[in-house]
Structures are given as C-alpha cells and as structure tokens.
Amino acid sequence: MAQDPILALYRPHWSQQANGLHHSISFSGEYNAGSDAITNSFLNSFYKGIFIAATSKTEQENRLLPSNRIGIYATYAGSYCWRPNADSSNWEFVIAYRDRQTLFGKFSSDAFKLAFEGNRPFLGKTATLDNTNLTNLHWQQIQFEAKYYTPDRKTDAVIGFSILNGQQLQEINIRRASLFTEQNGTALDVSSSATYYRSDTALTKTGSRNGSGTSFNFRFNTKMGDTTSPYRQLLTFIVQDIGFIRWNKNSEIYSVDTSLHFTGVDASAILINSGQLAGIPNSDSLIGAAQNGQIISFLPLGVLLRYTLFTPGQFWGGIDARAWSYCDALPQISMFAGWHTKNCHFSLTTGAAWGGYSRLQFPLKIVWEPCSRFSLLAGTNNAIGYLVPSKTRGQGLFVNLSYAF
C-alpha cells in the first residue's frame, strides 16, 4: 500500500486455497519515487534524459519549497518458502535474495536552480545551499525468516536475520554553502562547509563487495475480539531493516571548508615567477585530499502499525501509521478499504495516504489467485500519479508472482 520497506513483497504469497502445499517460490520487483516539490512528469523526463524546456523548469521552480525532500527506492527479489506440514505445522521458513537501491535526502530551492540553470539566475544575488543532504545506497541481502503460528491460528510472528553486501555508497552533507555572483558575472564568492563520503571506486559492478553488514526484521499479527463475532479485527506491527553496513577501509572521505573569491583568468596577465601562477582563484582552503577509512551506514529503518476490520460480507477497511528514518521523511497515515470475490480468487484494495516524501497519494493493489498454486499481487503507490503526472508528486509500481507446490 505504500513505500518500502513496509510492503514485504519479497515473501511468497500463499493463495487462499493453498492447503496441502509445502513449498512456494516468488519473484518480485518494486520501485517508487516521491518528493514534496518535484512533479512526476519532471522526474520522469530527468530520468529518461528527455530535453527539459525552460518553461518546464520555471514551472517546477515555482513549486519549490525553501527545503525540499526526495526519496527514490528500487528492488528486485527472489524467495523460497517451506512449510513442514502444510495443514497443521506452526512454523514456516523463508530464504530470500534481494537487490536494493535507494536515494534520499533534502535540498534547497537554490540548489535545484543551480543544478538545472547554473548561476545565471543569481546575478547580483547569493544562492544558498545550506542543509542539503543526499545519500545513494546500493546493497544486496540474503534474508532468513522464521514464522510461528499459535495453535489457535489467532496470532503469528515473523523474525528475520539478513547478511548484507554493500555495493556502493555516495553521501554528501552540505552544512553551509553559498555562492554570490557579481552583477556583471565577472566574479564569484564561494563559502562552504561540507563532507562527502563514497565507497571504494575500484569495484563498481553489481554485487561488488565494498562493505558488509547485518540487519533484523520483525512482524506480528494478531486477531482481536471474539472469534464468533461476524466482524473480525486484525492488528499488525512491523519493524523492518534494523541494521548497518560497514564499508571497507578503501572508502574515501572528503572534507570541504572553503572560502573562495574567483575573478577569472586573464591570459594576458598570467605571470610565472618562481613557480607561482598569478590570476588563479585565491582561497583560505580548498577540497583536501581524500582520507581513506571505514564508514558505517545505518539502513533506513521502517515501522508500521495497522488496524484492519473485516465485515461479514466481502469488504474490509482499516488505517495504518508508518514512520521511516529516511532523511526528513514525514510520518505517513493511510486509510484503506478492500473487496474480494466470493471465491477469494480476486481482491482489490485502495485508499488514500498522506506523508512520506510525496504528501498525498492514492495507492491501489490487486491480488489474483486463479488456482491454488499461482497468485499475482500487483499495484501502485499512487494511481493518480500516472493519470496526471504534471500535477502530482509520487509514483511507484510493485509486483509479486508466487507459485506453490
């Protein structure tokens, strides 16, 4: 229904008629992108490398906030599940491989203008980039999970442990930065204080081992109230990605503390005296040499609490609250409702969510179970994001194919 890491799509989805089956495999994929300022159409054009017209840039700039959030996530996964006794066992076991990548952070409106238009809009003005942070994290994961059902089947709990391979890290933290451009464009004044981290650049292919780590996850479901009541209630609690990656000692750390006045270079005035060149920028400090050392990155932690009410008919509804440790992601509240056919072969869930990076979203999910062995789960984080991309923020798709035997 919303952003990873809460969706848990990597797990096999057992169909409602899967009694007597011991094994299940699944393949899943997901992506989502959200921002409280950048529209879907602009983000799609930038990703695809499509020419962005000046009118489009201006329209986007008019939507910018003083500080803007962005979060992008993509993953694909394969998993296998085993039930020792399909009809009476209290245990279920899962092993999954996941490739995951995320980009998240915040940026000032001036930083956006500098990136897409240069400093021309700032003639005679100062561009401010304070408190701009961006993190790009790419890692692989081998995940082991055990699920326990109580004998009365009213409660189940999942605990998982993962071994992580860190492929790539890039992170920039601009604590303070400004750029003043003279009115006639002949001089620049730059002041900045920032740090930049990146993993070992010698190995960049998929699966390259530049770091390692571990993580844990937990999930709990319990049915509440009288089991004889025609109205059934379900409470769900999830904690995902309690963990870290320690990047190897070849990682690079740059520290920047710069005050720079640049007047350009007049070729007719260049003098070489005793190895000194006149006419280049003067500063008190520039970017220093990279320091090599280990870096620790904590995974973006996610927490969910959900209440679901099932009616005597074919409908259900509920509410959930989510929070992430992503850079400045807002807590998210979702309200949802669903319907299924009488034979449970098809179901549809939709609703409305506010928070995260994209503020308002309208998620949609379908589940199709044509037989006891096969199930398809698919949906979007924000259906309206594909209908009016130029007016909306936040989009995403997810799919899970499961086969039981």
Q: Using one digit for the tens of pLDDT, what is the confidence trace for 60-82?
A: 888 888 889 999 999 999 999 99
Give residue 276's pLDDT band: very low, low, confident or very high (50, 70, 90): very low
In angstroms, the CA 190 to CA 402 distance is 55
Q: What whole-number percentage of the chain has pLDDT above 90?
A: 58
Q: Using one digit for the tens of pLDDT, what is the confidence trace for 97-109?
A: 999 999 999 999 9
pLDDT reading at 2 higher than 80: no
Residue 49: predicted pLDDT = 80
DSSP secondary structure string, 251-293? -EEEEEEEEEEE----GGG--EETTEETTS-EES--PPPPEE-
In angstroms, the CA 143 to CA 99 distance is 11
What are the structural domains of the chain? 23-404 (2.40.160)
Mean of the pLDDT values across residues 296-310? 93
Give residue 54's pLDDT band: very low, low, confident or very high (50, 70, 90): confident
Q: Using one digit for the tens of pLDDT, what is the confidence trace for 163-222?
A: 999 999 999 999 999 999 888 877 888 888 999 999 998 888 888 999 999 999 999 999
Q: Does the CA dihedral 318-319-325-328 come out positive or negative?
A: positive
Highest mean pLDDT among 5-9, 12-16, 106-110, 140-144: 140-144
301 CA to centre of own chain: 11
In angstroms, the CA 211 to CA 167 distance is 7
Look up residue 295 and give its amino acid: I
Phi-psi region of 131 (alpha: psi -120 to 50; beta: other; left: phi over 0): left
Q: Using one digit for the tens of pLDDT, what is the confidence trace for 365-396?
A: 999 999 989 999 999 999 999 999 988 999 99
Question: 357, 70 in Cβ contact below 8 A?
Answer: yes
Three-state DSSP state, 132: strand
